[in-house]
Structure 1
Amino acid sequence: MGGFVVAGPSGFLAWSENERLLVQHEKQIAQLNELRGQLRNRVDLLDPHQADPDLAGELLRRNLNVAHPDEMVMLLPQQR
């Protein structure tokens, strides 16, 4: 019985592993919440009733390769 207290699945040895996993999952949740906020902002900017003209122009140029002959398009790497 005492062995389970020390080395069991919820014993003292497993406690530090569970705590490490908890910290790791909390970091992952924070990153996903930040990404969700960025995506929510982008969706809000693409509202069909009042789309942000800068974002709409950027998407047109990137996805459809639409540009005036005198324009120079510079693609920057996506930030994550």
Structure 2
Amino acid sequence: MSRRPALNMIRSAFWPTVAVAVIVYFAGAAIVGQNGLFSLAGYRHQRAEHLVTLQSLQAERARLAHHADLLDPRHVDPDFAEEMVRKQTGQIRPDEVILPAN
């Protein structure tokens, strides 16, 4: 007969124990998990790196847009066109210096 109260106590404690275990699991994941609070510093570092990359890509894009404007079919910049042709045909000597006209 002494087993009956112990079994009832175990049964009554089962679901609250499961609920506490689930809460502890999700709380731990929120703090230490892949997207938790501890990974926030890593995200800030990645964001800073990506901003530097973005700025360099924007500068490259602006440079290419400028070159595209210089090669506009309605009005081609003669100096830039000559520079491009000489580079493509290999007419630039190694000791020659080309100054960009920006």
Q: Same fold (TM over 0.5)?
A: yes
Partner of 2:30: 5
Q: Larger Cα Rg: Structure 1 or Structure 2?
A: 2
- TM-score for the superposition, normalised by structure 1: 0.77
Cα RMSD between the aligned structures?
2.1
Unaligned runs of 5+ in 1: none
Partner of 1:18: 43
* Higher-helix-fraction structure: 2
1:74 aligns with 2:99: no
- TM-score for the superposition, normalised by structure 2: 0.62
Specify which structure has the bigger relative contact order, considering alpha-carbon pairs within 8 angstroms and separated by 6 or more residues: 1
Unaligned runs of 5+ in 2: 1-25
1:53 aligns with 2:83: no
Q: Distance in 2 between matches of 1:14 and 1:48?
A: 51
The count of corresponding residues between Structure 1 and Structure 2 is: 72
The list of structure 1 runs, each at least 4 consecutive aligned residues, that deviate by more than 2 angstroms after superposition, is none
Q: CA deviation at 1:62?
A: 1.3
Q: Distance in 1 between matches of 2:90 and 2:33?
A: 60
1:32 aligns with 2:32: no
Q: CA deviation at 1:10?
A: 1.8
